[in-house]
Structure 1
Amino acid sequence: MSNRHKLKEGKFRLHIWKKFFTVRDGNRLLREAVAAPSLGMSKAFSELQAKVMDTQQKVKLADLQIEQLTKTKKHAHLTDTEVMMLVDETRMYEGVGRMFILQPKGVIHNQLLEKQRIAEEKIKELEQKKSYLERSVKEAEDNIREMLMARRAQ
């Protein structure tokens, strides 16, 4: 392990230069002087930073999925609104693979409502997952701060 390492991941940056640990959290700078950076401390920091990065990627993925499901739900709602304005005798076709199947208006309406309901359920699940992941990131960041404070107290 050389005297100069830089691990840049996520919100935190850990710099190990000779006898200093420096952790940058946004605009705040925390510097901790130590006799020699211990291998265990460096490993713990890198593990926590990897966890933070992984969790932040999962949060971004959840955001993208929520956005896509919201679009799907909105599309189904608008389609259903237009279908309901048509008279009951209107011939409606459902696309299935490369073909179209003649369906009654009620069946199409029920399918669109089901599509909206499923999208709404998935959105709720993803929002719960996202809030859990955000709490996990916050806990990991707090653990990094605690490690610095514990090291400072020594």
Structure 2
Amino acid sequence: MSAPIDLELKKAFSELQVKMIDTQQKAKLADLQIDQLTRVQKLAKLTNAEISTLSDNTRLYEGVGRMFILQSKEDINNQLMDKQKTAEEKIKELEQKKVYLERSVKEAEDNIREMLLSRRTTAQS
């Protein structure tokens, strides 16, 4: 009777290990994406601050691929604000995803602990 219990525990541990590795990889990816979005957000903020110091009749160009397009100061300002807002929203989503991943791993660990405790109490009885 000991062998089926050991196989069951071994299977549960291997599933937990796979889940933890997968979750850690996803969390690292989320961290990298958050870092990248933070850089995009800072760049947009700094660019916006620099543009705001320019006079309204200054000609501003937006780089698109290998060419530059004449844009109004207001249009560029709106684009930069949109970039900041989009980056902020994505950062929030990624942070929520990370919390969910961490919670799911913790639940899986708790389930295995409960399984171990129930096996110990069954074995002692």
TM-score with structure 2 length normalisation?
0.90
> Which residue of structure 2 lines up, in the alignment, with residue 45 of structure 1?
13
- Structure 2 counterpart of 1:70, one-letter code: T
TM-score with structure 1 length normalisation?
0.74
> Which residue of structure 2 lines up, in the alignment, with residue 92 of structure 1?
60
Question: Contact 1:56 / 1:137 at 8 angstroms: preserved in 2?
Answer: no
Q: Which has the higher contact order (CA 8 A, sep 6+)?
A: 2
Q: Which has the higher strand share?
A: 1
- 1:133-148 to 2 correspondence within 5 Å? 133-148=101-116
- Structure 1 counterpart of 2:31, one-letter code: D
RMSD: 1.4
Deviation at 1:41, TM superposition (A): 2.1
1:63 aligned onto 2:31:
yes
Question: Contact 1:69 / 1:119 at 8 angstroms: preserved in 2?
Answer: yes
Aligned length: 121
- 1:71-150 to 2 correspondence within 5 Å? 71-150=39-118
**Seq. identity, %:** 69
Q: Distance in 2 between matches of 1:136 and 1:60?
A: 16
